[in-house]
Amino acid sequence: MKKLKDEELKNINGGITGWAIAGISLLVTFVAGVIDGIARPEKCRS
């Protein structure tokens, strides 16, 4: 197994960013809301 130097470790790209996690969470929440709205619609309260 090859040991990497600190400079080589800093140049490695990949993984998932915080923005990607936030985007996925937002998408899941939105889709869940849409499905909930279709499955059990409620009238607007006035």
| CA 5 and chain centroid, separation | 31
Give me the residue label for tokens 């607007």.
44
Which pLDDT belongs to residue 18?
92
**C-alpha span between 20 and 26 (Å, rounded):** 10
Q: End-to-end CA distance of the chain, in Å?
A: 68
Q: Among candidates 43, 42, 40, which has minimal Cα distance to 32?
A: 40
Which tens digit of pLDDT belongs to each residue from 1-46?
889 899 988 898 888 889 999 999 999 999 999 999 999 988 888 7
Q: Among candidates 32, 35, 34, which has minimal Cα distance to 24?
A: 32
